[in-house]
C-alpha cells in the first residue's frame, strides 16, 4: 500500500514539473521579447509553440519575433501551417498580408487583405477589424466595419469602433460623425463620449465642426435629446453659457423637470464669473414658484451672483449697494433667518463691513449667525474669522485675536486653522511684535494651502529683509501701523503715516513698499489713474526688488480692467513674463495675457 502511494506521489510531482516547464519558458520568452532580444525570445516561443500549436497567443508572439528578425521564410511557413489547421480564421489572411507588406510586396498584401474582408462572416467582423487595427492597417479596419454595417443592415452599427479608428488617424470630422451616430443609439453613453472627445475638442476647428454637425442633427431629429446634451457640453467648453442656457431651458421644459440641470449650469456659469447668465438661470427657477424644490437655493444664489457682479466691477455706486442690501433683507424676511440662510447672512455682513462701512451691523449679523443652532461647523469657523476681521476694523484687537485663536484651536489640522494662525501672525506684525510674527510665519510657510504658504513666505521675507537692515525698528513699526490703518479703511491716516515715514527716513529700503501702498490706497479709492505713477516708479527705480513683479501685475490689471488700454496691459504682462520668470504671479499673468491676446483656449 505504501509503495503504491509513493508511486502516485512521484507521478503527481512529475506532472507538476512537466506543466511548470512551459510556464517558465513562456515567462522567460516574454522577458526577452520586452527587452527586444528577439532571437532568444523566438527560440523559446518556437519550443512552446511546437508543443502546443493550438495556443494562438504563442503563435502570434512567435510570429512577431520572426517579423522583427526578418525571418520571412519561417514566418510564411508558420502562417501557412496555421491556415491549414484553422481554415476559417480570416485573421490569418491579415498575418499573411502583413508578411507581404514587410517584404514590400504591396500587391500581394492587398490581395490577402481584400480576401479577408470578402470571406468574413457576421460573427468575425469585429475580430477581423481588430486584427487590421493591430497591424496599423486602419483603412482596411474601416472597410471591414463598413461592410459589417451592410451585412447587419444597420446604418449606425460599429459607430463607436469607427470613431476610435478615425480618432487614431486624426480624421476628426468622421470621428465626430461616428461618435454622434453611436450616442444617438446609446443615449446613456453621453458621458463616456464627452470623455473620449475632450482632447480633440481642444482644437477650435474640431469644436466648430462638432457644433455644426450637432445643429444639423437637432434640426433633423429635434426629439433626440442626446444631441442637445452634447451641444450644451460643446457650448460650455467654449464658455458660451448664454447659448448653453437656451438649450438647457429647452430640455427642462420638454421633460417637465424641476430645474436641476438649470441649477448645475448656473453654478458653472457663476464659477466662470458669467453672472448675467447665472442670474437669468436662477430667475427661470424662481418663476416656477415657491413650491419648487430649488426655490430657496435659487433665491440665495441670485443674491450671491448679484453681489459678486456688483463688487467685482469696481464701478458700483452707493445706490446700487443700498439696493442690493434691500434685496438681501427682503429675501431673509421671506426665507427666514435659519441655518439654511446663514451663508446669505454672512454675505450681507460682508456688504455692511466693506461696502456700506457699517461695521456694527456686520458684527451684529454675524453674532446672530454664531448664536444660531444647526449651522455647520465650517460656517461657524468662517463667521468667526470674518467677525475677527470686523473687530480689527473697529480697533478691538483683543477681540479679534481671541476669535482667530478659537478657530485655530478648533481646526488645528485644516486650512481654516492655518488661515486663523496667519491672521494672528499678521496681527502681531501690525502691532510691531515682529519676532513673534516671524516665528508663526516660518511655521506657516509649510502650509498645505498654497495661498497661505505664499502669503506667509512673502510677509516673512519682508520682515527679515527690512528688519535686518536697521538698528531701529521705528521705520517698520510705522509702516506696519500704516498697513493696519489701510485695513481699517482709515486711508487718510495711513497716508499721513507714510508721509511721516518718508520725511523721517528718506531713501529708506521701504521706499518701494511705500510706493506700492500709496498705489493700493488710490486703487481702493477708485482713483485708478492716480495709482499709475506710483507703480511706474517701482518698476523704473526698483526693477530688481521684490515688489517689481507685483507692480507690473497691478499696472497690467489697471490698464486691462479700468483704464481701457488693452495694448498697455499686454505690454506689462509680457514684461513680467520675460523679466520675472520665477514670480509667483507668472501663471496668472500668462493666463491673462493669453486672454487679452484672444486665444480660444487659455
CATH label of the domain that carries residue 578: 1.25.40.10
Name which of 223, 145, 236 is nearest 194 in CA terms.
Answer: 236
Residue 516: pLDDT band with limits 50, 70, 90: very high
Residue 19: pLDDT band with limits 50, 70, 90: very low
Lowest mean pLDDT among 283-287, 529-533, 558-562: 558-562
**16 has a pLDDT exceeding 80:** no
Q: Which H or E run contains 366?
A: helix 359-371
Residues of the domain holding 537: 510-597
The mean per-residue pLDDT over the stretch 173-183 comes to 95
10 Å Cβ neighbour count for 369? 23
**What SS3 state is found at 486?**
helix
pLDDT tens per residue, range 413-432 = 889 999 999 999 999 999 99
**17 has a pLDDT exceeding 90:** no
| Nearest-angstrom CA–CA distance, 52 and 58 | 9
**What SS3 state is found at 11?**
helix
C-alpha Rg value of the chain to the nearest Å: 36
pLDDT tens per residue, range 203-220 = 999 999 999 999 999 999
> For residue 584, what is its C-alpha cell?
509667483
Residue 167 lies in a domain: no
Residue 49: pLDDT band with limits 50, 70, 90: confident
Residue 541 lies in a domain: yes
**89 has a pLDDT exceeding 70:** yes
**What SS3 state is found at 338?**
coil
Q: pLDDT at position 77, please?
A: 94
Return the percent helix, strand and coil in the chain, to nearest 5: 80, 0, 20
Q: Which H or E run contains 357?
A: none
Residue 263 lies in a domain: no
Residue 341 lies in a domain: no
**365 has a pLDDT exceeding 90:** yes
Q: pLDDT at position 55, please?
A: 61
**478 has a pLDDT exceeding 60:** yes
Question: Within 272-316, where are the H helices?
Answer: 275-286, 295-313
Q: pLDDT at position 15, please?
A: 39
Residue 586: pLDDT band with limits 50, 70, 90: very high
The gap between the terminal CA atoms of the chain, to the nearest Å, is 83
Residue 593 lies in a domain: yes
Residue 323: pLDDT band with limits 50, 70, 90: very high
Residue 591 lies in a domain: yes
Handedness of CA 196, 199, 202, 205 (dihedral sign): negative
**468 has a pLDDT exceeding 80:** no
**572 has a pLDDT exceeding 90:** yes
> For residue 283, what is its C-alpha cell?
430667475
* Average pLDDT, rounded, for the chain: 91
> For residue 585, what is its C-alpha cell?
504671479
Q: pLDDT at position 4, please?
A: 55
* 409 or 599: which leads in pLDDT: 409
Q: pLDDT at position 53, please?
A: 65
Q: pLDDT at position 18, please?
A: 41
Decide if 403 contacts 387 (C-beta within 8 A). Answer: yes
Q: pLDDT at position 20, please?
A: 42
pLDDT tens per residue, range 517-529 = 999 999 988 899 9
Counted domains in the chain: 1
Percent of the chain with pLDDT over 70: 94
Residue 283 lies in a domain: no
* 328 or 447: which leads in pLDDT: 328
Exposure b/e, 26-55, CB count within 10 A at least 16 = b: beebeebbeeeebeebbebbbebbeeeeee
> For residue 251, what is its C-alpha cell?
430640455
Q: pLDDT at position 54, please?
A: 63
The mean per-residue pLDDT over the stretch 130-144 comes to 94
Residue 120: pLDDT band with limits 50, 70, 90: very high
Question: Within 86-239, where are the H helices?
Answer: 91-102, 106-119, 125-134, 138-152, 159-169, 172-185, 190-197, 204-220, 225-237
Residue 579 lies in a domain: yes
pTM (global) more than 0.85: no
- How long, in residues, is the chain? 602
Name which of 30, 34, 55 is nearest 44 in CA terms.
Answer: 30
Residue 350: pLDDT band with limits 50, 70, 90: very high
**587 has a pLDDT exceeding 60:** yes
Amino acid at each position: 500500500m505504501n509503495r503504491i502511494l509513493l508511486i502516485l506521489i512521484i507521478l503527481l510531482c512529475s506532472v507538476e514539473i512537466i506543466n511548470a516547464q512551459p510556464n517558465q519558458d513562456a515567462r522567460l520568452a516574454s522577458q526577452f521579447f520586452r527587452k527586444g532580444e528577439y532571437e532568444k525570445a523566438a527560440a523559446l516561443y518556437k519550443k512552446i509553440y511546437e508543443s502546443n500549436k493550438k495556443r494562438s497567443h504563442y503563435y502570434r508572439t512567435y510570429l512577431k519575433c520572426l517579423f522583427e528578425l526578418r525571418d520571412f521564410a519561417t514566418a510564411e511557413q508558420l502562417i501557412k501551417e496555421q491556415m491549414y489547421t484553422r481554415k476559417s480564421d480570416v485573421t490569418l489572411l491579415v498575418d499573411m498580408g502583413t508578411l507581404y507588406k514587410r517584404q514590400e510586396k504591396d500587391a500581394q498584401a492587398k490581395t490577402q487583405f481584400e480576401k479577408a474582408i470578402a470571406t468574413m462572416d457576421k460573427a468575425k467582423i469585429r475580430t477581423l477589424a481588430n486584427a487590421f487595427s493591430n497591424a496599423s492597417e486602419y483603412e482596411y479596419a474601416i472597410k471591414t466595419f463598413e461592410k459589417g454595417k451592410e451585412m447587419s443592415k444597420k446604418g449606425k452599427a460599429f459607430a463607436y469602433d469607427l470613431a476610435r479608428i478615425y480618432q487614431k488617424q486624426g480624421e476628426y470630422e468622421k470621428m465626430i460623425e461616428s461618435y454622434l451616430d453611436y450616442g444617438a443609439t446609446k443615449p446613456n453613453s453621453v458621458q463616456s463620449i464627452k470623455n473620449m472627445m475632450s482632447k480633440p475638442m481642444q482644437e477650435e476647428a474640431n469644436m466648430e465642426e462638432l457644433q455644426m454637425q450637432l445643429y444639423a442633427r437637432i434640426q433633423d431629429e429635434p426629439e433626440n435629446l442626446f444631441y442637445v446634451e452634447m451641444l450644451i457640453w460643446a457650448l460650455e467648453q467654449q464658455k458660451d453659457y448664454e447659448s448653453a442656457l437656451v438649450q438647457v431651458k429647452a430640455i427642462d421644459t420638454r421633460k417637465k423637470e424641476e430645474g436641476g440641470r438649470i441649477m448645475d449650469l448656473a453654478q458653472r456659469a457663476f464659477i466662470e464669473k458669467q453672472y448675467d447668465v447665472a442670474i437669468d438661470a436662477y430667475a427661470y427657477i424662481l418663476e416656477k414658484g415657491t413650491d419648487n424644490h430649488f426655490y430657496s437655493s435659487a433665491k440665495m444664489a441670485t443674491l450671491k451672483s448679484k453681489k459678486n457682479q456688483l463688487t467685482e466691477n469696481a464701478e458700483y455706486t452707493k445706490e446700487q449697494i443700498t439696493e442690493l442690501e434691500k434685496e438681501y433683507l427682503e429675501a431673509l424676511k421671506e426665507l427666514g433667518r435659519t441655518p439654511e440662510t446663514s451663508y446669505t447672512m454672512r454675505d450681507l455682513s460682508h456688504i455692511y463691513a466693506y461696502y456700506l462701512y457699517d461695521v456694527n451691523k456686520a458684527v451684529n449679523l454675524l453674532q446672530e449667525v454664531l448664536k444660531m443652532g444647526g449651522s455647520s461647523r465650517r460656517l461657524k469657523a468662517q463667521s468667526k474669522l470674518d467677525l475677527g476681521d470686523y473687530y480689527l476694523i473697529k480697533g478691538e484687537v483683543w477681540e479679534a485675536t481671541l476669535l482667530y485663536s478659537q478657530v485655530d484651536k478648533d481646526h488645528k489640522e485644516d486650512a481654516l486653522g492655518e488661515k486663523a494662525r496667519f491672521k494672528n501672525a499678521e496681527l502681531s506684525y501690525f502691532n510691531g511684535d515682529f519676532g513673534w510674527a516671524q516665528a508663526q510665519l516660518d511655521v506657516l510657510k509649510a502650509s498645505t494651502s498654497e495661498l497661505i504658504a505664499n502669503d506667509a513666505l512673502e510677509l516673512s521675507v519682508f520682515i527679515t529683509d527690512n528688519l535686518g537692515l536697521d538698528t531701529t525698528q521705528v521705520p517698520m513699526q510705522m509702516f506696519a501701523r500704516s498697513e493696519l490703518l489701510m485695513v481699517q479703511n482709515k486711508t487718510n491716516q495711513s497716508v499721513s503715516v507714510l508721509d511721516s515715514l518718508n520725511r523721517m527716513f528718506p531713501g529708506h529700503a521701504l521706499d518701494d513698499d511705500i510706493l506700492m501702498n500709496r498705489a493700493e490706497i488710490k486703487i481702493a479709492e477708485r482713483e485708478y489713474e492716480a495709482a499709475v505713477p506710483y507703480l511706474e516708479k517701482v518698476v523704473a527705480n526698483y526693477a530688481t526688488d521684490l515688489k517689481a513683479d507685483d507692480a507690473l501685475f497691478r499696472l497690467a490689471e489697471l490698464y486691462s480692467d479700468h483704464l481701457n488700454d488693452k495694448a498697455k496691459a499686454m505690454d506689462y504682462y509680457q514684461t513680467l513674463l520675460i523679466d520675472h520668470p520665477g514670480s509667483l504671479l507668472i501663471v496668472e499673468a500668462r493666463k491673462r495675457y493669453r486672454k487679452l491676446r484672444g486665444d480660444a483656449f487659455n
